[in-house]
Chains A and B, each alone.
Chain A
Amino acid sequence: MEHKRDLSRKSSHSKMRTSTSSHRLLNRKASTLSSVERKGRKKDSIERFLESDQTVILSSLSQLRYSILCEGLPRNGDESCPYRVYVWSILLRAEPIETDYYVSLVQHGESNSFTKIHNDAFRTFKKDQTFSDKVSNGLLIRILNSYANEIELIHPNNSNLSPYVQGMNILLAPIAYISKSEPEAFCLFKRLLTKIIPMYVTPNLSGVLNGVKLVDIILELVDSKLFNHLKSKMLSAKIYALPSVLTLGACTPPLSEVLELWDFLFSYGVHLNIFFIISQVILIREDLLASKNPMTLLREFPKLEAKKVVKLSMSFVKAIPTDLYDLVVRHTWDPSIDDQIDEYDITGRNRS
């Protein structure tokens, strides 16, 4: 295992491309890197599909999504799926970057956010031994700092993206855990933040604030009794759901379940996390309703069970009106929906 990790680390220093949007490249990467693994491991249908030639990207993508929905990525005991990084790269359609480019960002040295990053990185998943065995503190700091450098240096006038905000360390953690090289992790992380959830990482976290509003609106819609109970205890989603929205659920252990949840989020859209959060709350509704201090139960959600959460979410997604659903879909990346969400919020309040 050590040997294998060394191999992949070495490869990150060579000039190879670290991620891919084209299947030709993906094929090359997957087959070169997994030569050690290939001998001892039989490839499953998803992995074979990844390595096959695909002509129409969109239809291949939906085929991949469907496989993940039906079969899920395999688990070998404690080991996470060996090719998950390729699946995520493809689903997020992460553009390839040159390793030299990443190295140049590292060489820039400390960003303005370095102290904050340094102060948070070592606290990332601190209780998770499997995580800290695989992902070093230095790696987390380098990637977060490189990202901050890029935002500060390359887009100095783009005030829409925050170089660092607490919680980014948690967003990076699952990516760093599944990646085979550091530039690869950087590439996926950057893609996720700048293209998939850019509204979550604005300086005033506007997308996250919209996200928690949506949690309230939808919880009221699907479980008004629970919503009103929490409301009577002054518990709005802004208070209990903010970490889960910002980190796409990654703040709730165990990591192995977070990875599975993210497989699903990256397949069918990160906006679904809003429903996943509501499901996590509904799963403990009896305890919440019986509790005088529900916040003590909501400070840390119960251990994540990805399948259960996805399943419950799918049962009430159908009940969401189309226009509201549309706002959920857009809230992670569309800057223009603030007013519409507020309007929905107010209409809801008047109704109740």
Chain B
Amino acid sequence: MSNNRKKTILKVIILGDSGVGKTSLMQQFINGKFSQQYKATIGADFLPKDLTIDDKQVTMQIWDTAGQERFQSLGVAFYRGSDCCVLVYDVTNTKSFENVQSWRDEFLIQANIKDPDNFPFVVIGNKIDVEENKRLISSKKAQALCANLGNLPYFETSAKEAVNVEQAFDVVARNALQQEESLEFSDDYTDAVNIHVDGDNYGSCGC
């Protein structure tokens, strides 16, 4: 373990249409519980979680954003410095699926990503706990889209019943770490990293 240096911060941003379950996914991953959602997110919101990835301690900072396009004017501040972007849709909502690509494009523009082809995205189809007949987007259809967008990893989750959430965020974390490490040696190293978490709290592994 590389204990004599600053703990790595991974910034992960969750995007997707309003009501697809972004806040619930974040809550489920961080607190391990589902709360029937209290409110629509206004602006953005973030929660930290300490993780160990292959013996390396990191703090994942998950940013949850408002789904409504009105808030995109705020995007720059929220998107900048992201190490991974999670695109969420609701398997019972066709429109939210159709918008996955535009959320990705929006992110690439707003976050000013230098190497868009290699930036890590993870796609999540949420709400698979619903009855089969309410489901409108098949796995096949979703996988086709992800292949088309550049072989993006795809997960189907239920934030409500804690299905696959852990697994999805594990891939998110690994991809984010990889992205972060690739940036450390590049010129694009910006204000994305040297934030948060004082350098003296190594002992706490929050997994």
In the complex, the answer to whether A238 meets B77 with C-beta atoms within 8 Å is yes
Interface residues of A in 195-214 (CB under 8 A from B): 203-205, 209
Name the residue on B nearest A165 (C-beta).
Answer: B70
Report which of B42, B197, B201 forms a contact with A246, defined as CB distance below 8 A. B42
Query: Does chain B have a CB within 8 A of A48?
Result: no
In the complex, the answer to whether A124 meets B39 with C-beta atoms within 8 Å is yes
In the complex, the answer to whether B43 meets A238 with C-beta atoms within 8 Å is yes
Interface residues of B in 129-163 (CB under 8 A from A): none
With contact pairs A205-B73, A233-B196 given, residues A299 and B18 touching in the complex (Cβ less than 8 Å): no
Q: Is the interface on chain B under 10, 10 to 19, 20 to 34, or 35 or more residues?
A: 20 to 34
Which residues of the other chain, A, contact B44 by a CB distance below 8 angstroms?
239, 242
Q: Is the interface on chain A under 10, 10 to 19, 20 to 34, or 35 or more residues?
A: 20 to 34
In the complex, the answer to whether B18 meets A166 with C-beta atoms within 8 Å is yes
Q: Is the interface of B mostly helix, strand, loop or mixed?
A: loop
In the complex, the answer to whether A251 meets B42 with C-beta atoms within 8 Å is yes
Q: Is the interface of A mostly helix, strand, loop or mixed?
A: loop
A120 to B17, CA, bound (A): 12
Query: Does chain A have a CB within 8 A of B109?
Result: no
Query: Does chain A have a CB within 8 A of B68?
Result: yes
Report which of A120, A169, A236, A299 forms a contact with B45, defined as CB distance below 8 A. A299
In the complex, the answer to whether B38 meets A123 with C-beta atoms within 8 Å is yes
In the complex, the answer to whether A167 meets B42 with C-beta atoms within 8 Å is yes
Query: Does chain B have a CB within 8 A of A346?
Result: no
In the complex, the answer to whether B48 meets A247 with C-beta atoms within 8 Å is no
Which residues of the other chain, B, contact A236 by a CB distance below 8 angstroms?
77
A239 to B74, CA, bound (A): 10
In the complex, the answer to whether B70 meets A205 with C-beta atoms within 8 Å is yes
CB distance from A169 to the nearest CB of B (A): 7
Interface residues of B in 1-32 (CB under 8 A from A): 18-19
A322 to B126, CA, bound (A): 51
Binds B, one of A50-58, A79-87, A216-224, A290-298: A290-298
Q: List 25 A-B contacts (CB under 8 A).
A: A119-B18, A123-B37, A123-B38, A126-B36, A127-B38, A162-B70, A166-B41, A166-B67, A166-B70, A167-B40, A205-B70, A209-B74, A233-B195, A239-B43, A239-B44, A242-B74, A243-B42, A246-B43, A251-B39, A292-B198, A293-B48, A295-B46, A295-B47, A299-B45, A299-B47
Chain A residues near B (Cβ < 8 Å): 116, 119-120, 123-127, 162, 165-167, 169-170, 203-205, 209, 233-234, 236, 238-239, 242-243, 246-247, 251, 292-293, 295-296, 299
